[in-house]
Structure 1
């Protein structure tokens, strides 16, 4: 029973973390293009790991070898596999995609 309760709490916390805060976006705060890594840490690292080595989501350490920035941006916006759509939108999605496309 304890194992099931822990699994439920753990899963719920991951889902809530992945959904983001809903507050003011970094674009509204005047963020620059160099914020891709910070946006990733805030919105994506709970599934993909701070070190990009994966967890609930796939390993992204070499994602730039498979996809270019535009393709990564579309995956971020539309989701893929178990990844939900809309975690990041607009300029924030573009910044993270550009940052990830450099991972080769």
Structure 2
């Protein structure tokens, strides 16, 4: 009778570890960066934004940033800075990932690509 309890505890521990590993992988795939401080807006976009917004900025799991589907075309720079810094909708905040200058550079890159920069 005493043996069943440790097996149950081992199973619960394995489940807990699997849940933690899943969470860690999800967080690290969305955050962390090896970007140099002086990375261009394009480099920042490719590394951190293209996965969701597409390499051509036309959307994917994230909204389109250029083209007919884009709703942000013509928005002021502060809109992009705020959206990247604080997050918007399902998009996470990059405040703790990018410096203010990097956020500004990627904002300007997006605006330039959409013809609004």
TM-score normalised by L of structure 2: 0.61
| Cα displacement (A) at 1:14 | 7.2
* Alignment RMSD: 2.4
Query: Relative contact order, CA 8 A, sep 6+: which one is greater?
Result: 1
Q: How many angstroms apart in 1 are the aligned matches of 2:25 and 2:56?
A: 20
The alignment covers a number of residue pairs equal to 86
Q: Does 1:41 align with 2:46?
A: yes
| Cα displacement (A) at 1:78 | 0.4
Name which of structure 1's ranges 38-47 and 54-63 shifts more when overlaid on structure 2: 54-63
> Is contact 2:41-2:102 (8 Å) kept?
yes
Matches within 5 A, 1:53-92: 53-62=58-67, 65-86=73-94, 87-92=97-102
- Unaligned stretches of 5+ residues in structure 1: 1-11
Q: How many angstroms apart in 2 are the aligned matches of 1:59 and 1:89?
A: 24
Q: How many angstroms apart in 1 are the aligned matches of 2:27 and 2:75?
A: 25
Give the aligned partner of residue 32 of structure 2. Answer: 20
SS at match of 1:65: coil
Q: How many angstroms apart in 2 are the aligned matches of 1:42 and 1:60?
A: 16
